Structure 1
Amino acid sequence: MNENDLREAMRSTLVATPEPPPMDSATALTAGRRAARRRMTLAGAGAATVLATLGIAAAGPGLNLLPGDHTTPWAAPASEPAIPLPTDTKPSWPIDGDGRPQQDATARSGLRYEQGKRVLNGILAVVPDGYVTPTGNAGDGIPLQDHQAAVEGDGSWGYLASAAVAKDKGTGRLLVEVHTKDNKLAKEPCALAREFWGLGGTCERTTVAKATVGVVVTPGTDRRLDQWAAYRYPDGTVVFVAQSRSATNFESGLKPLDELPLTVPQLAALATDDRFHLQ
């Protein structure tokens, strides 16, 4: 997996499933292609294994992610005649920082891009004492620090950043994903936490000041991440903060950390940290 594959995986996790589009062929086809592309990306990124880097969701918010022939994911089965594709199916993307429409869901400049960078800077600012934050790429080509901003199917925005953290020859990661206030994610803290990337897991409600945070302390069968916290602000903004003993879930060549960088209370507190409360 190269950096472009990783960015595509990150983008897919940030794009929530859109509501059913109007029943005209162009819109329906565009929605189908987006959904198929999400499934294809997750296969390539290792759905059973996220996303990657420092640090992140897929089935819903925390986003995620089956083998097969995905060369033409929108085509009919071989046993059925293919439906002719309309030519006016190009989606309409937001304006990027250069004043022109984005190439796809990902912002590559401008305010939204800078918000994604801000999430990464926020992570780097809260790395615990005793840890360092390596840069460059892991042995599998995945960046040890990365960030992204992408528009979601419901019109809200998702910001995802990940950073490797190293100590005593071990390297893990911290990851933050933010969804702006118009998102359609779950409202109950633990339902929200279990929805992240569709990972499920054992969740505990934790109180931080007057805020109630859902924290998955033990993952389910999907072990891409070790622990994560989820918090919905009163205005609807959602923040996920995750940690893992491993820097990536691929062939990174990096030894995992002996222990997680953050305690459960620290993880929950970061989910309510105002530096990640973005619009």
Structure 2
Amino acid sequence: MIVDKLFNQVAKKGHVCLGLDTDYSYLPKNFADKFKTSGEAIYNFNREIIDATYDVVACYKVQIAYYEALGLEGLKAYSDTLKYIKEKGVLSIADVKRGDIAKTAEMYATGHFTGDFEADFVTLNAYMGINDSLEPFLKYVKENDKGIFALVRTSNKGARDFQYIKDEKDVPLYEAIGEKIEKLAEENMGSCGFSSIGAVVGCTNNEEGANLRKKLKSVFLLIPGYGAQGGKAEDIAVYLTDGNGAVVNSSRGILLAYKKEEDGEENFSLCARNETLRMRDDIWANI
């Protein structure tokens, strides 16, 4: 199963999920000026980053909004990036956060698990209902070896606006969502002890993290919030099971690492690699 592949990548190469949330403004000017369009420049920037890091990351996360904002050329860059990740033999997460229902959800599942935008995993929002929102994607999990990461508790400050609202049993909404995700996960288990039904759990609001991990014992986690959003390596350990069971995303922290170096613009991909290794080793040292 796809989760077994991800588990093995983490065991071999560490927990880093490199976020290719690539804004055109992130590109070194001298590099960007070589290309006719912003989409072409972004894709080639991504290629350089992937070439420099594919042997030291567990997976890549590609946030579609950065590409949609550029129109058709951006979507081509998105598609080409996913295809290049696959060529390099690495797993991809399409960060699309789809959350619609019924036939619309079915179309989203087809669009992101097959064809030009095919990825190994997608991120989903189940707040319109577990069955309605996720069911169309589960077919691909079962029949096409795909995986999902459903939003449970996010890393932004506004997460407390709704996700922490408690029911009559004093259970916060994010925990109720997590319990339903855990039940789905138990029906789609890999041999590694985790499921291809995963969850997004931010590391910046982790005071209740140990309890949440106990409830999501079968669920592989995608953990945002490291680095630019304030999360630290020591925040990660509570979400791991025997050192595995999660990938930790960093986007700007790696993509913009070159800005910290005097000659970084000429060596941006090497700077990205060095930051990836620093992050990987930082997490390893704290688990």
Same fold (TM over 0.5): no
Q: Compute the TM-score of the two structures, normalised by the length of structure 2.
A: 0.24
In terms of fraction of residues, the more helix-rich structure is 2
Q: Compute the TM-score of the two structures, normalised by the length of structure 1.
A: 0.25
